[in-house]
Structure formats: structure tokens, C-alpha cells
Amino acid sequence: MKRILLDEHFDHLLKDLFSAQVDARTVNEEGWSGKKNGELLQLANKTFDVFVTMDKNLEHQQNLQGLRLAIVVVRARSNAYSTVAPLIRRVEDAAKKIQEGGLTYIEG
């Protein structure tokens, strides 16, 4: 079972749209709200397989070398539930296929 962490700018209700084949959690549920990306990635790297974010600059701002955590970046016009919800199936498919330490984008 893949463990997926949704960044804090996503609506928490999106986690309910994932199938039972993944364990989706939010940054807020983990008690990591307000953590800077570097610290957040290190925390997530310990217990999650995939980090889902809308931060398009993450790969340029953070050193991703050495992380086993895979990252899925959602490129959508907004983080509104109605905008991101239709993309969740694609996010889940990408999360299941991505290799450890990989980076991929979902356009929406």
C-alpha cells in the first residue's frame, strides 16, 4: 500500500477521493502545518512513499538528492477542491507508478 502525503495547501477532503489501495494523509493530520519544505520533506521521507504538492519550484528550491520519497507536482490553475478533485485518479496512478526518489507532474 502506497502512503501518500498531501501538502497543506490542498483541501483535506481530497484524501477521501483516493482508492482503498493507498493511505492518503494530509500535512495537517500529521501535525506538520507550517513546516518549511526542507524540514517537511525530511519528515515525510521517513514514513511516506509519495508527497503531492502544487509547489512548482520545489525541485529548484530544495535538494531532493538522497530522498527515497517520490514527489508528484500538480499543475492546476488553482488549489480549489473543484479544480483538483478531477485530477486525483491521475495523481494516484502516478503515485503507484513513480519510482522511489522520482519526480513527476500532473497537468490539470
Q: How does pLDDT run across 1-32, given as a tens digit for each residue?
A: 999 999 999 999 999 999 999 999 999 999 99
Between vectors from CA 102 to CA 86 and to CA 15, what angle results, nearest 5°? 35
pLDDT tens per residue across span 63-101: 778 899 999 999 999 999 999 999 999 999 999 999 999
**SS3 assignment, position 42:** helix
pTM: 0.94
Cα 10 to chain centroid distance, Å, stands at 9
CB of 103 closer than 8 Å to CB of 33: no
Give the pLDDT score at 101: 93
